[in-house]
Amino acid sequence: MKIGSILENQSIEKRIAITPEVVKKYISLGFEICLIKNYGIHLGINDENYLNVGAKISEDEKEILKSSDIIVQLGMLSDEKSSLIKENQIIVGVLNPYINKEKLENLAKKKINLFSLELLPRITRAQSMDILSSQANLAGYKAVIESFANFEKAVPMMMTAAGTVPAAKVLVVGAGVAGLQAIATAKRMGAIVFATDVRMASKEQVESLGGKFLTVEGSENLETEGGYAKEASEDFKKKQEDLLSETLKKIDIVVCTALIPGKKAPLIIKEEMIKNMQSGSIIYDLAAVQGGNTAFTQADKIIEKNGVKIMGESNILNKLPISASSLYAKNMFNFVDNLYDKQNKKINIKLEDEIIEKTLIK
């Protein structure tokens, strides 16, 4: 059986789905790997690195798409490339079914098997395939690094003969995977860290990393069965707003990570709150690509309001493409490994497997 992968649109996506390290693993299962010429060259991975571990390199993108049993990618293929895919072929990636609903339904009608990895269930067996966690971890780390790079004061407390430099105060909004990594990174760099989240289960995790959890009085636990955040009630939003308004007056750096799958990012930091923040403060909004958690967020722009810089990128992982690709490729391999019936050497789409059933676009 053949697994193929072509380059993403380089202007928006620098990550790759297959690294030389996982080629060996695929080949050990009996797969043939075929990649487009210069597949990893932008990450310093030459074609020779792939050839040395047994992959094949082709200059014919169309042939790769037509002849592969499984196509592994990061994002959705263009309409032109999707039209080359035939019945029973498999596409695995981050297909964004909330945005690409119609496209995916049309492909599914052609009996193309589509698996979108952001739909993985939050179960123990799926952890090694969890692309949201592996990529969010890196995003949380990088958001803190980017914020600190733009902050014009020292971050840790410094005691000098000339006086004391106070530690920067950081607030992390949303304590999911990205938020927890942001807390850990900011804490390691010497900041005083606060965090807030609609899920009460986050309190213990935040405190275990040395952060202070800001609790809204009379909090409701807004967590879905799958472990994601769900929409808050109007009463909760008002209480959260009041708490945030007061807290933000003394915060230097805010990292926003609050997302609701398939919906516009919740607006958490409003115009009036930003007006009351200290000049020179930084807001890094990881939710920028889904509309942002602040009133002024614009993806890929730094907006300045009353001396406060508001930043956010459409794909922060393009700044860590080597690390992000390495983790993504391993997640992808683990997913394909679960699909593969080693005894009969074929792909087995068994819907009684929760991982397969939840990620398959029907």
- Which of the residues are catalytic? 122, 127, 130, 133, 228
Do residues 236 and 198 make contact, with C-beta atoms less than 8 angstroms apart? yes
Contacts of residues 333-341 at CB distance under 8 Å and 24 or more positions apart, as own/partner, are 333/22, 333/25, 333/26, 334/128, 334/129, 335/92, 335/115, 335/117, 335/129, 335/359, 336/3, 336/26, 336/70, 336/72, 336/92, 337/25, 337/29, 338/129, 339/70, 339/90, 339/115, 340/29
For residue 216, the one-letter residue type is V
Q: Which of 5, 88, 8 is nearest to 315 (CA)?
A: 8
Which residues have CB under 8 Å from 214's CB, separation 6+? 171, 194, 195, 196, 243, 244, 247
DSSP string, 19-87: -HHHHHHHHHHT-EEEEETTTTGGGT--HHHHHHTT-EEES-HHHHHHH-SEEE-SSPPPHHHHTT--T
DSSP state of 360: B
